[in-house]
Amino acid sequence: MVSFSKTDKTDLPALKALWLTCFEEDERAAELFFERTMSFTHAYKATENGEFIAAVYLVGCTLNGRQAHYLCGAATRPDCRNRGVMSGLIRFALDDAKNRGDVFSVLFPADEGLYRFYSRLGYLAKCTARTRRLTRADLGDTQNPGCGTPDTDVLQKLSLKNNFLFWNKDFVAFASDYYGVYGVKTVRSENAFAIYSLKGRTATVYYSIYNEIKELKSLLSTIKADTYIITGTGANPLLAGAKREICGMLRPLTNENPPDDVFIGITLN
């Protein structure tokens, strides 16, 4: 019989082992997740005959000032799949989250099949993002952005405006190091922050926050690129007019109406 419960510290070795079994993950990245996020993440497990067969994680965040979480790391042992274990575990985790006060659950499915799977669990395709290809000339006249450690709490509020997942500082710092394992880079100044990858002379900017748009332009100009593929929200003037695309799902856990056009920003497995 399959049973569901929250995890505790003694489960960490089994959680790590299952994560590495189910995902094509660098072990260093997995270690970062378990070392750096567990203080604000709720983890749940499914067991059968005393054996660990599935897990899922709810990373704490807020959405429009309401308590929320980002669901990730949904992993089922290969020989236990297609039995409804994960559906049951997610329902158990969401019930616990609702009782804890979470208002919204947000996630980013890896493929179309998972969009269908999560829709059966009540998730709605209400998360979006905008993407635009720009040239260095589009950045205009820029200045040396200087150096410094940005206050990511302040920058999120200033640049993303509304309908976005607000990540705590520890998670933003973790994400920078986590993606760094895969060669993704971070640039920062006192007034701007961006996570990007570089292929040839093209920089793909996955996430950016800033005090003023000129600060972001100056920061991006320090990347040795001729072309920039930037993803973000319509609040970013560089993306004004860019077409919205579905980029994640949201499920309300109460009777509160879910917002449209929610931006997740930083995503994990």
Q: Of 99-103, 196-200, 255-259, which gets the smallest average pLDDT?
A: 255-259
Q: Find the helix or strand (DSSP H, E) in which 223 lies.
A: none
Of the candidates 64, 21, 226, the one whose C-alpha atom is nearest the C-alpha of residue 156 is 64
Handedness of CA 229, 166, 114, 44 (dihedral sign): positive
Q: Kindly tell me if the per-residue pLDDT of 12 is higher than 90.
A: yes
The fraction of the chain above a pLDDT of 90, given in percent, is 94
The residue assigned the tokens 């959680």 is 15
7 and 84: one domain? Answer: yes
| 20 pLDDT more than 90 | yes
The verdict on 156 and 114 lying in the same domain is no
Together in a domain, 13 and 100: yes
CA 187 to the chain's CA centroid: 18
Over residues 17-26, the mean pLDDT reads 95
Q: Say whether 226 sits in a helix, a strand or coil.
A: coil
Strand duo 227-232 + 202-210: pairing: parallel
Q: DSSP character for 256?
A: S
Residues near 71 by beta carbon (within 8 Å), at least 6 away in sequence = 56, 57, 58, 59, 90, 93, 105, 106, 107
Q: What is the mean pLDDT of residues 88-107?
A: 98
Statement to judge: residues 136 and 232 lie in one domain: yes
pLDDT in tens, 126-185: 999 999 999 999 999 999 998 899 999 999 999 999 999 999 999 999 999 999 999 999
Q: How far apart are CA 214 and CA 141, in angstroms?
A: 9
Number of domains in the chain: 2
> Is 154 found in the same domain as 64?
no
What are the tens digits of pLDDT across the range 210-245?
999 999 999 999 999 999 999 999 999 999 889 999
Q: Are residues 105 and 142 in the same domain?
A: no
Give the percent of the chain with pLDDT over 70.
Answer: 100
Do 122 and 139 share a domain, yes or no?
A: no
Tokens 């079994």 belong to 21
pLDDT of residue 178: 97
Strands 2-6 and 41-48: antiparallel
pLDDT digits (tens, 9 = 90+) for 47-88: 999 899 999 999 999 999 999 999 999 999 999 999 999 999
- State residue 188 phi and psi, 5-degree precision: -150, 150
Q: Look at residues 213, 215, 177 and name the one whose alpha carbon lies nearest to residue 195.
A: 177
* 7 and 51 within one domain: yes
Q: What CATH code is carried by the domain that includes residue 152?
A: 3.40.630.30
Which structural domain range is residue 180 located in? 128-244
- Predicted pLDDT of residue 268: 86
Is residue 147 included in any domain, yes or no?
A: yes
Average pLDDT over the chain, rounded to whole? 96
Same domain assignment for residues 88 and 134: no
* The pLDDT value given to residue 269: 72
